A and B are shown apart, each in its own frame.
Chain A
Amino acid sequence: MSSSRSHRKNTSTLGTPAVSAANQTVKNPNLKKNEPKSDNEPPKTLVSMEPDFYDPRGACHMIYWTDCIAQMAVDIRERQNAANQSDFDFMKPKLVEYVFTVCVRLRLPNEVRFTAALILNSFMLRHLCSLHDFMERQEMSIQRKKREWENLESNMERQIPLRILTAIQISSKFHSYHDSLSSRQVVNTLRKIGLPYTISAVLESEQRVFKLIGFKMPDSPLDACEMALKVLTFTMKKRGMIDEEKYNDLWQHTLIVLDVCFINHIELYERFIRKCPAICRTEERLNISKFKWDIQLLAAATVQTAYILLLGTSQIANVSVIINNLLRCDNAYVEPLKQSIIELACAKKNESIPECSTSS
């Protein structure tokens, strides 16, 4: 996040969500830990939440790069094999956007919002399934079951803000100790939006969500993007392809593109599937679900799109080869996904122009 917390280097001021929210949000109380207490006290090392793609220090050892990518590919394959057409049913645009907005307002690190959205989706699916199974087992009339199901739906719906905050809380704790949300902070945040939950309720919700997602954290496409950008930067540096200051810009563009992809993923993959006539249409929803699990494909398309947006298409052929080889992605799928992202972004831009003109 290129927020004011990124102290180590002057990052670009390109429009990431954090930049836009910087004036509207206040400090995460945890950040006080990093601030000097007085003028006399020397400032402690401030923690930047931005990855450094240029400096080889602190990067994962090169001999592990291919292993990490291979491991991710194996995980993707496993998830694709177990994919269900309903796997992303709760990743609705506005729900994702809400999660993102809360994360940005709380000035949480970039990776938190993506993981939080995936946690929420996973939880809601499993929660719904478990409740449905429970209802199925009840010995009562259909009419009564329907009535009870309505109650359940109402309860679930009422709890959505709590679940959103809980998903963000778990994600924040996984990614960053310093920026993690405590139960007290979640209670305070919920109170600010008019939902006075007790701290016990928040604690119980955290345990419940964590349990229902199987105590596992979903893999984030941002992780794959970071991986791709690191290797791309390394290769471009070796070949002298672009100058140094572009790395951070590329990262900021990648974040924006990934935000767009995440929020509009339903529309994005519908466009994508239309561009890939070879994909079997008999089980379209299942196939889309499988493609959605392929975070390396999404990362490849995202980084390449970001590159085009920032630096144009002059070098994109070389960049595509580097990234596709690295992430083992078939260009026959990357290219349509890339085009879909660009079309989607253009469509969204056109959609919003009348609004802006109306407002002015």
Chain B
Amino acid sequence: MWGKITSHIGVWFGLEEAERPMRASCSLSMIHHPQLTAVRSSKSSENLHRITTMSPQRIQDVDGSPSTRKPSSSIFTLRRSRNKEKKYKNNGGGGSTKSPISKNGTNEMTQSWHSNHVNGASSGSGSGSTPEHHNKNIFSFLSRQSRSRSNNPSETMSTVPLNKNSPSMPPPPSSNTVADFTHLRRRRPRSAHYDPNTITLPAKEEVTPQDVNDLYKRIDKLGEGSYATVYKCESKLDGSIVALKEIKLQFQEGLPFTAIREASLLRNLRHANIVSLHDIFYQHHQLTFVFEYMKMDLSKYLEQNVYGLDSIDIKLLLFQLLRGLDFCHRKKILHRDLKPQNLLLDEDGVLKLADFGLARAKSVPSRTYSHEVVTLWYRPPDVLMGSTDYSTSLDMWGVGCIFAEICTGAALFPGSKDSHYPGTKDQLDMIFSIRGTPDEKKWPEVKTLPGYTPELFPRYRELSFIAVNPMFTKILKTGQELLGMLLQLRPESRVSAASAMLHPYFASFPREVHLLAPSQSIFRLKELKDLRSL
């Protein structure tokens, strides 16, 4: 059966079977409709075509056969809005249709750009294909009559039994050529006005999708952002607690790109230090992510510890952060929004990276990406100055900022956009005042950054972390050294997550911590389990 179906469907696109071209569909092949003409707009800012339609009289000339509609005995009935239905009736089913057919009968969309380049790529010659190429264009395969609506023996090679046995078949069309406009005119409006996603079943057989509200009971609202709202929920099946993230869909935009990236990236990230995406529901025009529930985030935990965390907690949390991030970077994924609010904690002191809404897959070679990423306080200086070809070092600056913050209890670079400096200058001033003004000898590439304006800043010298805040003494010299490696102004000099985990700051951890499987928590090791005080 499967083979039959695939060959059947394959015939629709079937190019191996050139002798059986596809039927004149009301969808793609519509654009070949001779009643339509398209005029390339000379200076149009639109990307495709300006389209004109022929007069109804000409349409009637072309369409000589009576409209045949299938009886509605099917279990699959197509939904049509009442307004559209009225319109359909008023137009007699033959309303005007638009299609980008050029005057010479070729379709701009069907003209293959590819053959030209395969054949003459090195010449770099102009675009477009010849009219003759139209014969082999990508729509030529659509020119076969409908299997389901035609009894023409020449067209029913694979489906003769189906058609013969079908009591509800319409009368055969008057033509078996591509230009059988009867088919097109009869079917095109249906395509236009039916909701294509609807297969409505009779009430008795209706299958309702599993409703997320039937599975989970909302307990509390955990937070609300510009693109999602997060609820604490209890599973009605097993009583487990989860976090539901309801994505707000924008009517004009469709699914937010953040949701597409978060869902697709998190599906590939199964790690003890990355929040688990259990399930995804889509219903009622809403997308809902089911995440594992975590007790709190790091920012809330820091609110309870205004002078920073204990030295051992700092070390444990930092290591887990690096571990999760290293896993992402190995899979070429940049988080791009590291901050305490996006680091979740559970009762056992396990830290997990969350909120991959801004995350993206990174290519191995450098590419330019948006520089409007990462919350201002955790944004590295190169990106603040407009760099767009960043890499994993982007996240490592954020790790440094968080490392400093959990030591002291306060953000290290709490810049403001509303200060006397415009834009991101205040943030840069904060950074330079501690890390020193960039030295063009050590960081020659800084001169190429669009936002590099050294004259705006006083000449700062790099300060020791102890001079900035005495609380840094608790991470000892090795910790300060690691912090310095993370907070390097030059992105290429910043330490990677993999290297940072091997820094002597973590020398007190057992070696086995580097051998754990991704899904295993570091607290699986007894030595570390005994250390935690969270």
A residues in contact (CB < 8 Å) with B: 8, 13-17, 19-29, 45, 47-53, 55-61, 63-65, 67-68, 71, 86, 89-90, 92-95, 97-98, 100-102, 104-107, 124, 128, 132, 138, 140, 143, 146-162, 169-170, 173-174, 177-178, 180, 182-184, 186, 188-189, 191-208, 210-211, 214-217, 223, 226-227, 229-231, 233, 253, 256, 259-260, 263, 266, 309, 345, 348-349, 352-353, 355-356, 358-359
Contact = CB atoms under 8 A, between A and B. Distances in A.
Q: Which 6 A-B pairs have the closest CB atoms?
A: A58-B389, A58-B366, A20-B127, A194-B99, A92-B13, A359-B130
A22 B252 contact: no
A29 B111 CA distance: 23
A148 B76 contact: yes
B254 A101 contact: no
A318 B127 CA distance: 35
Nearest to B132: A359
Contacts of B49: 192
A183 B496 contact: no
Contacts of A358: 132
A150 B30 contact: no
Nearest to A25: B47
Nearest to B367: A51
Contact of A67 (B118, B267, B330): B330
Contact of B47 (A107, A161, A196): A107
Secondary structure at chain A's binding surface: helix, strand, loop or mixed? helix
Contacts of B110: 98, 101
Contacts of A48: 367-368
Contacts of B12: 153, 157, 160
Contact of B196 (A140, A158, A231): A158
Contacts of A266: 16
B147 interface: yes
B488 interface: no
Contacts of B159: 150
B45 A100 contact: no
Secondary structure at chain B's binding surface: helix, strand, loop or mixed? loop
Nearest to B499: A63
22 contacts: A23-B127, A28-B47, A45-B388, A47-B369, A60-B391, A101-B111, A124-B9, A128-B9, A150-B163, A151-B76, A157-B27, A169-B254, A178-B370, A183-B251, A194-B51, A197-B192, A197-B196, A203-B255, A216-B268, A256-B118, A259-B117, A356-B130
A153 B167 CA distance: 17
Interface stretch (B234-242, B258-266, B411-419, B479-487): B258-266
A8 B389 CA distance: 11
Contacts of A207: 255, 282, 285, 287
A186 B192 CA distance: 15
Most chain B CB within 10 A, of A63, A156, A309, is at A63
B165 A94 contact: no
B367 A216 contact: no
Interface of B: 1-2, 5-6, 8-10, 12-16, 25-28, 30-31, 33, 36, 44-49, 51, 70, 74-76, 78, 97-100, 108-128, 130-133, 135-136, 138-141, 146-149, 159, 161-163, 165-168, 187-188, 190-193, 195-197, 199, 205, 249, 251-255, 257, 260-261, 263-264, 267-268, 280, 282, 285, 287, 329-332, 361-371, 386-393, 445, 450, 491-492, 496, 498-499
Given A52-B389, A155-B78, A193 B48 contact: yes
Given A152-B76, A226-B363, A348 B15 contact: no
Contacts of A53: 365
Contacts of B74: 147-148, 151
A146 B136 CA distance: 32
B10 A14 contact: no
A230 B366 CA distance: 9
B489 to A, nearest CB: 14
Contacts of A198: 195
Given A58-B389, A158-B26, A195-B191, A14 B260 contact: no
Contacts of B117: 15-17, 20, 256, 259
A215 B165 CA distance: 40
Contact of B257 (A56, A152, A174, A208): A174
A228 to B, nearest CB: 9
B147 A150 contact: yes
Contacts of A15: 116-117, 120-125
Contacts of B255: 170, 173, 203, 206-207, 210
A155 B76 contact: yes
Most chain A CB within 10 A, of B12, B190, B499, is at B12
A48 B370 CA distance: 11
A77 B46 CA distance: 44
B452 to A, nearest CB: 12
B132 A345 contact: no
Contacts of B332: 60, 64, 68, 71
B148 A355 contact: no
B141 A94 contact: yes
A48 B6 CA distance: 40
A223 B363 contact: yes
Contacts of A173: 254-255, 257, 260-261
A102 B108 CA distance: 10
Nearest to B286: A207
Given A21-B127, A92-B10, A47 B370 contact: yes
Contact of B197 (A22, A205, A229, A260): A205
A20 B128 contact: yes
B46 A26 contact: yes
Contact of B48 (A132, A162, A192): A192
B389 A55 contact: yes
Contacts of B135: 355
B108 A92 contact: no
A89 B11 CA distance: 11
A342 B498 CA distance: 41
B115 A352 contact: yes
A60 B25 contact: no
Contacts of A202: 254
Contacts of B257: 173-174, 177, 180
A201 B195 contact: yes
A196 B192 contact: yes
A210 to B, nearest CB: 6
Most chain A CB within 10 A, of B12, B47, B132, is at B47
B31 A51 contact: no
A63 B268 CA distance: 21
A16 B125 CA distance: 10
Contacts of A50: 367
A353 B257 CA distance: 43
A216 B266 CA distance: 9
Given A101-B110, A173-B260, A182-B252, 12 more contacts: A17-B113, A21-B113, A51-B363, A53-B365, A60-B362, A65-B364, A140-B75, A150-B159, A158-B26, A184-B253, A259-B117, A355-B132
B138 to A, nearest CB: 4
B9 A153 contact: yes
B282 A211 contact: yes
A6 B368 CA distance: 11
A353 B133 CA distance: 11
